[in-house]
Amino acid sequence: MLTPIYLRLERRHELCRTLGLTIAFLLVVEVATLSRSGILALLIGGLILLLPYRRFLAGRTLLAPLAGAAVVLAVVAASRWHYVETILRSRVKTGGGSESAHFGVYDFIPKILHSHPLFGLGLNNFSVYYQQITGKTNWGPHSFYVALVVETGLVGTAVFAVFLWYLFRRLHAARAIGRG
């Protein structure tokens, strides 16, 4: 959301530097979470913005925050290379059984909806249920949508769907105002 605003600002606008630093900081934070899905979302978002903002690709406006984030990440990676190497290996590894535990979480959805269809298990109760079934402690669903369905049931999922519908309606209205 910030990138299009930042790219449209004039070079000497008072918010230009602040937004550039904010974008660089948020990029560093996103990479620091080590989330594959977060990085994938950033890449897809970048591809979506690529076409309408292609004229900014080689410009200082876009490259400055990216370069700032890259420098910070390079310094951190160089100072902790063994850790970075271990994390990268674990993130690209596909064997070892961890995927079965992640996919096994999806098996709980029908069971929980059968026993608690309307309101689910309650917020933050997935790990308690999972521990009772598997014996593994401190284990979350690793999926927002699984957590939504399991912890809030059909009512919570419907409320979230209505919220998304409302959000996209408001975004559509805001877009129409911006074009008008």
Distance CA 180, CA 177 (A): 5
**pLDDT grade for 180, boundaries at 50, 70 and 90:** low
pLDDT, one tens digit per residue, over 79-127 is: 888 888 887 777 666 665 555 666 777 777 888 889 989 998 888 888 8
113 and 84 in a common domain: no
**pLDDT grade for 50, boundaries at 50, 70 and 90:** confident
Distance CA 62, CA 98 (A): 38
DSSP calls for the chain: -HHHHHHHS-TT-TTHHHHHHHHHHHHHHHHHTT-HHHHHHHHHHHHHHHTTTGGGTTSHHHHHHHHHHHHHHHHHHHHTHHHHHHHHHHHH---SSHHHHHHHGGGHHHHHHHHSTTTTT-TT-HHHHHHHHH---S---S-HHHHHHHHHHHHHHHHHHHHHHHHHHHHHHHHHHHH-
Last residue of a domain, one of 57, 90, 123: 90
8 and 70 in a common domain: yes
- Give the phi and the psi of residue 59 in degrees, each rounded to 5: -85, 160
* Beta carbons within 8 Å of 140's beta carbon, 6+ residues apart: 126, 127, 147
Sign of CA dihedral 128, 133, 139, 141: negative
81 and 109 in a common domain: no
- Global confidence as pTM: 0.53
Last residue of a domain, one of 33, 68, 90: 90
Beta carbons of 23 and 2 less than 8 angstroms apart:
yes
**Region 55-76: what's the mean pLDDT?**
82
Structural domain boundaries enclosing 171: 97-179
Residue 169 has pLDDT above 70, yes or no: yes
Percent of the chain scoring above 90 in pLDDT: 13
**Per-residue confidence (pLDDT) for residue 95, from 0 to 100:** 62
Distance CA 114, CA 121 (A): 11
- Between these two residues, 136 and 109, which has the higher pLDDT value? 109
**Per-residue confidence (pLDDT) for residue 147, from 0 to 100:** 87
Percent of the chain scoring above 70 in pLDDT: 91
- Lowest-confidence pick of 17-21, 97-101, 131-135, 157-161: 97-101
**Per-residue confidence (pLDDT) for residue 98, from 0 to 100:** 57
**pLDDT grade for 129, boundaries at 50, 70 and 90:** confident
**Per-residue confidence (pLDDT) for residue 166, from 0 to 100:** 95
Place of tokens 């996103």: 30
86 and 119 in a common domain: no
146 and 86 in a common domain: no
